[in-house]
């Protein structure tokens, strides 16, 4: 498989009118993306430079779900790296998934795969205070293997049978193309590495990693993450587990971001995690370039 470069960088400018989303100011953001065709059905968008008056490193997988199917990958109670989740399942690319118990394994947010409940929502003592925001939404995959980002139903996930596969997380960052008001807490207001996902008006799925905790990549707040999603024209988007878990991997190039679990700006700092989102070619769809 050969990675094919597209013809030019893409300049995107957006005036974010945040007053309608609970924010009282507006801010202009410029992101000069570089785009490459990772393989048929998957575009890799990258940015390395100044944003939010800080150094940032962002990677985005833009996925054509006509050709590529997302699947929830997990181990319980064993923890393995995102790249191992992907390789073991035969995925062509992957990002880390939702929050998990670092001592005992398993997700702490609701997860259902192929109609089987793998994990109920079960926060630990340290997570209970702000857990509600970590369960605000989900990446949901229907029987046709098409993913949506949805809000948590008012009555919760139990009994919600519209999708056979659900991996919940949060906070919700953007909904109906509008920024979601973020709670005032350290988790949201501190710059961290972040992973998230969203869908756009074209029906594409976007998987996003933002590096952090180094001078070369400082990370973002959840509000800043929501702004990046709006630049990407996301309609609905959520935050996944981040920090040292943040990882993006592809079969052709290996680790694409700079995982921070080793506190260095290199590609050696992968953390072992409980779950991931893998990408797979649909039957009969040749993705090799």
State the pLDDT at residue 8: 40
Whether 187 shows a pLDDT value over 60: the answer reads: yes
pLDDT at residue 283, as a whole number: 83
Summarize the confidence of residues 53-79 as an average pLDDT.
97
Position 9 scores a pLDDT of: 46
Residue-wise pLDDT for 70-118, tens only, equals 999 999 999 999 999 999 999 999 999 999 999 999 999 999 999 999 9
pLDDT tens string 236-269: 999 999 999 999 999 999 999 999 999 999 999 9
What is the percent of the chain where pLDDT is above 70? 86
Percent of the chain with pLDDT strictly greater than 90? 80
Q: Is the pLDDT of residue 7 over 50?
A: no
Tokens of 260: 């921070």
The two tokens of residue 126 are 């340290």
Burial zone of 7 (CB within 10 Å; 0-12 exposed, 13-18 middle, 19+ buried): exposed
C-alpha to C-alpha distance for 269 and 289, rounded to whole angstroms: 30
Segment 125-145, tens digit of pLDDT: 665 555 789 999 999 999 999
pLDDT of 30 over the 90 cut = no
Cα–Cα distance measured from residue 219 to residue 200, given in angstroms and rounded to the nearest whole number: 23
pLDDT-based confidence at residue 166 (cuts at 50, 70, 90): very high
Per DSSP, 82 falls in state H
């Amino acid at each position: 498989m050969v990675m094919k470069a597209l013809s030019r960088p893409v300049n995107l400018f957006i005036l974010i009118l945040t007053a309608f989303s609970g924010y009282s100011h507006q801010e202009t953001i410029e992101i000069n993306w570089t785009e490459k065709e990772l393989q048929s059905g998957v575009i890799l968008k990258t940015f390395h430079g100044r944003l939010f008056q800080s150094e940032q490193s962002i990677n985005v997988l833009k996925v054509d779900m006509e050709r590529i199917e997302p699947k929830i990958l997990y181990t319980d109670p064993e923890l393995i790296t995102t790249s191992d989740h992907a390789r073991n399942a035969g995925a062509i690319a992957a990002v880390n998934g939702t929050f998990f118990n670092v001592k005992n394994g398993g997700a702490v947010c609701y997860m259902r795969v192929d109609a089987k409940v793998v994990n109920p929502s079960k926060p630990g003592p340290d997570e209970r205070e702000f857990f509600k925001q970590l369960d605000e939404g989900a990446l949901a995959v229907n029987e046709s293997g098409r993913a949506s980002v949805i809000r948590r139903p008012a009555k919760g996930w139990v009994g919600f049978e519209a999708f056979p596969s659900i991996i919940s997380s949060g906070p919700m960052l953007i909904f109906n193309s509008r920024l979601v008001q973020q709670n005032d807490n350290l988790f949201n207001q501190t710059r961290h590495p972040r992973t998230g996902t969203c869908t756009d008006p074209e029906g594409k799925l976007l998987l996003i990693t933002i590096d952090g905790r180094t001078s070369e990549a400082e990370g973002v707040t959840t509000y800043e993450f929501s702004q990046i999603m709006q630049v990407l024209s996301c309609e609905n988007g959520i935050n996944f587990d981040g920090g040292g878990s943040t990882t993006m991997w592809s079969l052709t190039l290996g680790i694409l971001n700079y995982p921070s679990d080793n506190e260095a700006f290199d590609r050696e700092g992968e953390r072992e995690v409980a779950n991931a989102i893998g990408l797979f070619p649909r039957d009969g769809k040749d993705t090799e370039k």
